[in-house]
Amino acid sequence: MKTAISAAAAADLIPDGAILMIGGFMGAGSPHPLIDALVDAGRKNLTVIANDTARPGFGIGKLVTAGAVTRVITSHIGMNPETQKGMLSGRIEVELVPQGTLAERIRAGGYGLGGVLTKTGLGTLAAEGQRVIEIDGEEWLLAKPLKADFALIHADRADYQGNAAYQLTATNFNPLMATAAPTVLCETREILPVGTIPPDEVGTPGVLVKYLIGRRM
């Protein structure tokens, strides 16, 4: 059985300077209560691995606004001028990664693979400083696996064993991130009795989840 805790208690587990993966795509499917709790706790110096930094005042954007983030690995910051300003001023280190490559790098980290071989980004700025591997006369970019200290994910529902089920486009990076950190915190709309989520609906087996954070706690 997994421990169900409050968002504030979850934030207490996460120290300044931690490397976090945070699920969501422009805020959809992000663990909003966990983000709020990190802001309230005044966390600093966080590294955030996420698809995007949403918008100021929304989702991961709240962490940027609060000055909690000093490094992001992400595919898109176009909707958040604060992240862009932070990058241009040098306050926030930003590593931009093509979205599909970001997804595969996270999966590789979680699945025990040594890297990702993709054509995406070949010959562009995204390839700078990265290795090109030739296989049977074709060139592939080698992108390295990503891991985090904590993965903060959102699921539609979960059971007390930690089994998590996702809904529609709120799925996005959440199931991938749930594999790539030793401590996975799963924020969810409802925590259900074990046995009530059919095995085929489980997107993340409970063995990957350490803490559950319900919205009605």
Partner 1 sequence: MHPEEVIQRRVAIELKPGSLVNLGIGLPTGVSHYVSHADNILFQSENGIVGMGSRPPEGMADEDLTDAGGAFVMAVPGAATVDSGMSFGLIRGGHLDVTVLGGLQVDERGYLANWMIPGRMVPGMGGAMDLVSGARRVIVAMQHTAKGGPKIVPQCTLPITATRRVTLIVTELAVIEPTDEGLVLRERGPGVTIPTILDGTSAHLIIPDVVPEMKLAAVLAAESQVA
Q: Which residues bind partner 1 (CB under 8 A)?
A: 1, 25-29, 51-52, 54-55, 74-79, 84, 87-88, 94, 96, 98-104, 107, 110-113, 118-126, 156, 159, 161, 163, 166-176, 179, 194-195, 199-200, 202-208
Question: Shortest distance, CB of residue 9 to partner 1, whole angstroms?
Answer: 20
Question: Shortest distance, CB of residue 175 to partner 1, whole angstroms?
Answer: 5
Question: Shortest distance, CB of residue 31 to its own copies, whole angstroms?
Answer: 19
**Residue ranges that bind its own copies, judged by CB under 8 A:** 104, 108, 111-119, 133, 135-136, 138, 140, 142, 144, 165-168, 171, 199-201
Q: How far apart are the C-alpha atoms of 7 and 37, rounded to whole Å?
A: 6
Pairing assessment for the beta strands 93-96 and 150-159 based on DSSP bridges:
unpaired
Q: How far apart are the C-alpha atoms of 198 and 210, rounded to whole Å?
A: 20
Q: What residues pair up with 14 in beta bridges, in sequence order?
A: none
Residues contacting residue 27 through CB under 8 Å, at least 6 positions apart:
54, 55, 58, 59, 60, 61
Nearer to partner 1, 44 or 215 (CB): 215
What the block records as the tokens of 192 is: 């259900």
Rama region for 60: left / alpha / beta (φ>0; ψ in -120 to 50; rest): alpha
Residue 101: contacted member of partner 1, its own copies, none (CB under 5 to 8 Å, by partner type): partner 1
Amino acid identity for residue 168 in this structure: L
Question: Shortest distance, CB of residue 104 to its own copies, whole angstroms?
Answer: 7
